[in-house]
Amino acid sequence: MSQQSVPNEQERSPETVGDIAEVTFERIGEILEAENLIYRHEEQNIPDGSTLQVVRTGFSNAAIAISVRQNTLIVDSLWRGQLSTSQAVDVLAVVNSWNQAQFAPTLRFFEQGEELLAISAVREADVSTGMTRNQLGAFLLSTLDAVLESFQSLEKQFPDSVTWENNHAHDK
């Protein structure tokens, strides 16, 4: 029986499927590129005077920001639909129902400008010990899919707020 050589630590690439490595924006970008998703990397100034690196992507119904803050990978998204503050009771009921019935993402809503409500979806993961390529890919892709599913649900609940044309592969 022939024996395969096992690479030592110096010979192993951090992108070997099972290797745990720090979550970086380069690794996030590689996963998005592998899925043919367009994205951009930018720096955002935050109130404490530091800068936050953000990867931005999106779909016809969603603007998505991916960042790492304090060892937490955060995928935050904003639904492109806008609702009147007069619909707050209905929005609260829909958001609560989603959050009780679904594992992810967590839906939230807030006032945006005068008399408008915005709905966002968020999912987070602890990355203090790093992630394998498979873990990072599974987290990112399952989160993007769940965000799109949640936003499609909102579109069914609030069809009058849909002012765009759906043209991404997740549409049914």
How many Cα atoms sit within 13 Å of 167 on the Cβ side? 4
Q: Which CATH class is domain 16-160?
A: alpha beta
How many Cα atoms sit within 13 Å of 6 on the Cβ side? 1
Domain ranges of the chain: 16-160
Residue 50, token pair as written in the block = 């530091």
Residue 38, Cβ density class (10 Å: 0-12 exposed, 13-18 middle, ≥19 buried): exposed
What pLDDT digit, counting tens, does each position of 117-129 carry?
999 999 999 999 9
Q: What is the pTM of this model?
A: 0.84
Closest CA to 104 of 58, 57, 155, 138: 138
What pLDDT digit, counting tens, does each position of 70-114 carry?
999 999 999 999 999 999 999 999 999 999 999 999 999 999 988
